[in-house]
Structure 1
Amino acid sequence: MSTTPDLSGNSGYVIPGGEFTRDQRYIATRITADGRDGYPVEAGRYRLVVSRACPWASRAVVVRRLLGLEDALSMAIAGPTHDSRSWTFDLDPGGRDPVLGIERLQEAFFARFPGYERGITVPAIVDVPTGQVVTNDYAQMTLDLETEWTAFQREGAPDLYPEALRDEIHAVDEVVFADVNNGVYRAGFAGSQRAYERAYARLFDRLDWLSERLSTQRYLVGDTITEADVRLFTTLVRFDPVYHGHFKCNRHKLEQMPVLWAYARDLFQTPGFGDTVDFVHIKRHYYEVHRDINPTGIVPAGPLLDGWLTPHGREELGGRPFGDGTPPGPVREHERVPAGHTPLDTGTPG
């Protein structure tokens, strides 16, 4: 998902005097093992389009890597910024995705739905033979990668969506989405003091609830990493770089919330999580794109990132990160986060 403005040319995100309401209308087509929507799971047929800046797209990046789907589902990485039309492939030579041959993700949406009027959002999966978008339903997308793409998952892939825990995963996901994943946006894009303060209180009440829950268990649901952890992680990893200042979610920094900070570091240091995070892209997206709340477009130099690699001590709570599975292997060379964009390489300042 992105917070792409509508295609009428409105570049604003804040409605003066109002509350932020996310457009939840997505293309509901699914890619399934039986192909019931006309799009069967096939290795090499589809391309996942993401931006490392976007928390919703980052969920798909993490899940794809944990499950080892790199050979079956290729990935296009858009640049960190966009305009009112869509995300662009400005990171690629000539500004075109080398597989889809397009400059803007918008082209894939229009190829299937001429005049598409809703947000051109990431993550999106595109059918390579036709060049048409299949789906941008980010919430269902990762669940389908976990359950419909099993034939192409790597040996030792973890079960991120255990059948016995699905009801609890969904219950946790529901409140985390409403109060945290979307809660930071409700605070950041609030159009009135009252709307902001309500969103702020709701966010930190939920973070306190999560801190209490995670004080006695290593992961959100069960004793292994699940879909629920992926969904929370992509918000927490952005908290200090952008949400604390840019979105005014400033009761405490993540670093000042001991349980959540240790939990986030535990996941960051787990293969498949931190090695997908690009802090430079994250900061550039929020501070350059949201000009109605940051008119200058100036991107902050901080915060320092070295704390992400400090010991977290969460092993004392037990748990098995990958359950009966194994960690993913090294990141593919062409998908590595650039040096200097992450504390996981020695070239990062600070």
Structure 2
Amino acid sequence: MFSSIRCKCLHSFVFHVFFSLLGDGGELELRVVSGNELGMFILYSSGSLCLNKALDRETQSSYNLTVTANDCVQPLSLQLTSTARVFVFVEDVNDNAPMFVSAKSVSVPEDAALHSLIMTVQAEDEDAGSNASILYLLNNVSGAALRIDNTSGNIYLEEVLDREKVDTLTFTVTATDVGSPRLETTMNFTVIVEDVNDNNPEFSQRDYSLSVRENIPRGTSLFHVEAHDQDIGPNGQLRYTLSPAGPFVVDTVRGVVTVMDQLDRERESNYTLIITAADRGDTPRSATASISITVLDVNDFTPQFSPENLIIHVKENEDEPSLLIHQVLLDCMVLILC
């Protein structure tokens, strides 16, 4: 004899199975001989099969019980036994809320295309049927930057990202089943906006000018040029170069300009240099500024006569003044001898 019973996993639920008694209506001994190893059921002498423990469909969804009925005729050798199979199917009730199983954060480059898929949130529900069907709802704390597909959990980008303005997007997703009553779970998620090299370095000014004395010692630091880049990582790390090559050099990392050769105002009194700041991105971006350096004079030359030896003949009775005047060059000066 086979019987099947469907029961819901309600802790207080009790059900009954009635057996056709064998023999002449005498006393029977009823037992569950297999399928009840966990003691989930109890069989009374009245033939009622009842729950002994609370059911949980998610732990075990069906039971296959073997029940025997023995009459009590004496002697034992005359007793008769009947066997029945009872199949118990545990029906689902909505007693499990969805649980998220996807990562709580994702990194997205700031140049991600509009409407591109940036992540998928996923939840699982241990119930069955409609009790396990899940819908996703997005609470976009960061504005309208994101959109979610209610059934798949796919999240799409709806606004252009700019890491320099917002480097993280925070939002919450609610996963709700469609059972009755509905159960839901909410979780916070984070989108980390990754930097791309989309900003040029910028100098604090486009033109620099300074004056230095021509006797300034070699190795003297003149001034510090600094540029800034809004990007981060290698995209924001700057290296400096100076051109044309000459008596000045720049520290490639710090941007300090130093004089490395002896200056000579009489040879060159003005220098115009171009300093370049370039980042270290995969495709470097750069900016330039102009540096004007004026070399100031110092008293580093001794006056010299030209010619150094001069013989002048003057008549003792010379009355003409013009004949008594002679010019002598002293470096770049003219001396009048009378």
Q: Higher helix proportion, which one?
A: 1
Bigger Cα Rg: 2
Q: Give the TM-score, by structure 2 length.
A: 0.17
Q: Give the TM-score, by structure 1 length.
A: 0.17
